[in-house]
Amino acid sequence: MGQKEAHMRTVWWEDGVVKMIDQRLLPHQFEIVAFDNEHDVARAIREMYIRGAPAIGAAAGFGMALAAQRSQAATTEDLLNDLRTAYDVLYASRPTAVNLRWALDRMMALATSLREQPHQVVRDALVAEAQRIADEDIETNQRMARYGAELVPEGANILHHCNTGGLATVDWGTALGVIRMAHEQGKNIHVWVDETRPRLQGARLTAWELMQWGVPMTLIADNAAGYLMWSGQVDLVTVGADRIAANGDVANKIGTYKLAVVAKENNIPFYVVAPTSTIDLQTPTGRDIPIEERDPREVTHVLGQCNIAPEGVNAYNPAFDITPHELVTAIITEYGVVRPPYEENLRRVVEQAEAD
């Protein structure tokens, strides 16, 4: 079995194909898969070989680069038509994480801006742009991590939900990246890791990453989080985000809302760590964010195998929920820590990102 080396990325471009770690198999098997077309990349996103908002965005960027490379178009206009089709294929893969649309829009905008150029120029430029999206993601995460680590007190007990580490991004991580930075700075921290039913991203992926980084951690059943907060064993909660609406409402892994409510009740800071590519100013509030509904089999069967419910039971499986902005203490971005009023302050950081 292979192992993730310290600086191995979650998704990358190699010799004209996209490679990624197959996260469905972790932590028991470590396998790299390769795809040479956008349809397979869309399937890999839908079936969660790769997951986590920034990682999905980077994969989609590479998917567009593959489409450009594969296209038989003899003119730039025909190439743009093929790219529009690839955009739709990739866009349809998962609905909630807006980083997907952000990356696709960025790729399409570049292609359109080069419409007067020969088609080979556009193809090469798209490969380079997808690579830039991936490279920038790591830098962005490390900037967020430095801002976020300032909010982590020495000796803190941190509650974390889902997986927001190197695996959810190209490398380093968002909320887990803050934890990693605080640990590397020598702060004596400890992490309570929510298992994160039904797909167990916490138990399978976050625990695996924290153990590799040497960060002290304890795995808990999701249902233990409320008791730990009430009994004074949690100093802060950190989570990532799949989409942040213009008013600061946050879509994140199902179960996040419950944590935010209990954190507020117990006066525990609740921090969301997300790059500006996760902020969607076109979506006014959390009620306008599409919530992915996945196969109920993920609820009735643990890891698709062991059936834990009566045959034929009715099950429902929303993959994300909305945390209203009133429950969010601060949103940590690569442009600094954003606090209320969110409407105004989120717009400011997005404008800063666009100007850069």
Catalytic annotation, pick one of 137, 171, 194, 242 = 242
- Residues found near ligand MRU in the complex (CB under 6 A): 51-54, 97, 162, 164, 168-169, 174, 201, 240-242, 252-253, 319
Q: Is residue 202 a known part of a binding site?
A: no
Q: Which is nearer to ligand MRU, 228 or 319 (CB)?
A: 319
Q: Which single residue is written with the structure tokens 């469905």? A: 24
- Shortest distance (Å) from residue 97 CB to ligand MRU: 6
Q: Which is nearer to ligand MRU, 157 or 163 (CB)?
A: 163
Q: Is residue 94 a known part of a binding site?
A: yes
- Shortest distance (Å) from residue 206 CB to ligand MRU: 10
Q: Say if residue 341 is preceded by a cis peptide, omega within 30 of 0.
A: yes
- Shortest distance (Å) from residue 161 CB to ligand MRU: 7
| Integer Cα distance of 78 and 241 in angstroms | 36
Phi, psi (rounded to 5 degrees) for 45:
-70, -45
Q: Which is nearer to ligand MRU, 68 or 159 (CB)?
A: 159
In terms of Cα–Cα distance, which of 16, 20, 29 is closest to 47? 20
8 A C-beta contact, residue 191 and residue 218:
yes
Q: Is residue 142 a known part of a binding site?
A: no
Quick check: helix, strand or coil at residue 343? helix
Q: Which single residue is written with the structure tokens 């020495």? A: 154
> Distance of alpha carbon 354 from its chain centroid, rounded?
20
Q: What Cα–Cα distance (Å) separates residue 167 from each residue in 20, 122, 234, 294?
A: 10, 30, 25, 21
Quick check: helix, strand or coil at residue 174? coil
235 is catalytic: no
Q: Is residue 201 a known part of a binding site?
A: yes
| Integer Cα distance of 314 and 337 in angstroms | 43
Could you tell me which residues are beta bridge partners of residue 333? 336
8 A C-beta contact, residue 93 and residue 87:
no
Q: Which is nearer to ligand MRU, 261 or 291 (CB)?
A: 291
**Residue number closest to ligand MRU, CB atom:** 240
Q: Which is nearer to ligand MRU, 157 or 174 (CB)?
A: 174
Q: Is residue 53 a known part of a binding site?
A: yes
Q: Could you list the active site residues? A: 242
Sequence ranges of the binding site for substrate: 51-53, 94, 201, 252-253
Sequence ranges of the binding site: 51-53, 94, 201, 252-253
